[in-house]
């Protein structure tokens, strides 16, 4: 098994790998995150690409990593007007400019149903004059369309947009009963992926302890999912269930640590969001990472546990990750070196440097030695 270098393209680093279940995965990381800033030419290309609806060079995504400048703002506003679905997120750090919120609301008003979610989600955070009214109008439009409730072999994007709009409305107004009713209706969608999406939006919008009619509607939808046989729905509701039923949610996640590989990893990650003071949680997680053969799954959990996980277990995971063929996994290991003692860092970094083919990762390992 030879180590691979990242594939480099237009300011992004790509890693393609196959998960233990056989699923093909792609990780992309801005090269700037690994100390390779955009060249003047790449920055110019990113700005030009971000102005297009078909942003094939991921320009708007790359510009999120760049310092605030008027040139970047202008490019993102042009892209927003053209329908670039990555432009709204890039504009969040420019909300102090008086042009941005009105432009975002206008983009929601004009966006086609299949890309509306990307614009609605950002307006749910940004707000602005007319934001709720525009979102409500688009939600009602989608709910009145038969296409929203059609089954799909994969995912009904129009229904997905409706769920995202409802969540955005509830972020702006936790007492919007119509938005909560929209999510309840989508919860019965014929497509399983859309039922999960509606559940995730409801769980994200739910505010525990807020006794509005809308929140009570969401709670009546979410609470029964604690015992839902479909584990995908259980995990989709987790953000709310951990507040509604923390003990029972913890117990179910602990049981799932004994399930098949992908469910185990999801359960372990879920337990990290629950109070680690519960005596049963930490020993079971330590036992799980000690036995876990999939380094990518165990590494993140181990270092989130920090000193609660035995040092020898964390060192072994980093050593295995640094020897892996996947450059994104090796980068994750390098990012966690700082949590180990200096002698261990020197030993691990020196060994990894001997056959590290990626220049950015080699540079990061050399920095760890200095």
- Hey, how many other C-beta atoms are within 10 angstroms of the C-beta on 227? 10
Summarize the confidence of residues 113-135 as an average pLDDT: 96
Beta-strand pair 24-30/12-18: antiparallel
pLDDT, position 96: 97
Summarize the confidence of residues 140-150 as an average pLDDT: 97
pLDDT, position 306: 85
* HSE toward the beta carbon, residue 366, CA cutoff 13 A: 10
pLDDT, position 63: 93
Q: Is the pLDDT of residue 73 over 70?
A: yes
pLDDT, position 278: 56
- Hey, how many other C-beta atoms are within 10 angstroms of the C-beta on 370? 5
* Percent above pLDDT 70 for the chain: 98
The C-alpha atoms of residue 224 and residue 76 are separated, in whole angstroms, by 43
pLDDT, position 280: 75
The answer, as to whether pTM is greater than 0.75, is yes
> pLDDT band at 279, cuts 50/70/90?
low
Q: Is the pLDDT of residue 260 over 80?
A: no
> pLDDT band at 276, cuts 50/70/90?
low
pLDDT, position 357: 98
Long-range contacts of 226-229 (CB under 8 A, 24+ apart): 226/252
Summarize the confidence of residues 281-309 as an average pLDDT: 87
Digit-coded pLDDT (tens) for 38-51: 999 999 999 999 99
Digit-coded pLDDT (tens) for 305-349: 888 889 999 999 999 999 999 999 999 999 999 999 999 999 999
Q: Where are the domains positioned within the chain? A: 98-244
Digit-coded pLDDT (tens) for 231-251: 999 999 999 999 999 889 988
């Amino acid at each position: 098994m030879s180590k691979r270098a990242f594939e480099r393209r237009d300011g992004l680093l790509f890693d393609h790998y196959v998960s233990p279940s056989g699923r093909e995965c792609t990780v992309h990381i801005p090269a700037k995150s690994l100390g390779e800033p955009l060249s003047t030419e790449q920055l110019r290309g990113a700005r030009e690409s971000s102005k297009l609806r078909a942003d094939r060079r991921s320009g708007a995504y790359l510009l999120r990593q760049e310092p605030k400048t008027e040139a970047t703002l202008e490019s993102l506003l042009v892209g927003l007007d053209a329908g670039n679905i990555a432009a709204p997120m890039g504009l969040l750090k420019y909300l102090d400019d008086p042009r941005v919120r009105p432009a975002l609301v206008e983009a929601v008003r004009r966006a086609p149903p299949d890309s509306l979610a990307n614009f609605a989600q950002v307006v749910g955070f940004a707000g602005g004059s007319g934001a709720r009214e525009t979102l409500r109008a688009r939600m009602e439009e989608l709910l009145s369309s038969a296409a929203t409730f059609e089954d799909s072999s994969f995912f009904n994007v129009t229904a997905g947009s409706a769920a995202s709009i409802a969540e955005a409305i509830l972020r702006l107004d936790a007492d919007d009963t119509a938005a909560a009713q929209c999510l309840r209706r989508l919860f019965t969608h014929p497509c399983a992926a859309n039922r999960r999406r509606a559940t995730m939006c409801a769980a994200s919008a739910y505010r525990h302890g807020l006794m509005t009619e809308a929140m009570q509607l969401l709670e009546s939808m979410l609470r029964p999912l604690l015992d839902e046989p479909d584990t995908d729905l259980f995990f989709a509701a987790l953000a709310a269930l951990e507040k509604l039923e923390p003990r029972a949610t913890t117990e179910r996640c602990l049981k799932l640590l004994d399930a098949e590989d992908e469910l185990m990893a999801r359960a372990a990650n879920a337990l990290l969001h629950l109070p680690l003071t519960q005596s049963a949680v930490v020993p079971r997680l330590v036992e799980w990472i000690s036995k876990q053969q999939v380094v990518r799954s165990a590494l993140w959990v181990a270092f989130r546990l920090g000193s609660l996980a035995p040092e020898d277990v964390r060192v072994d995971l980093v050593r295995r990750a640094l020897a892996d063929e996947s450059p994104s996994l090796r980068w994750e290991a390098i990012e966690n070196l700082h949590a180990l003692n200096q002698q261990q860092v020197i030993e691990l970094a020196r060994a990894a440097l001997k056959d590290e083919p990626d220049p950015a990762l080699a540079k990061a390992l050399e920095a760890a030695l200095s």
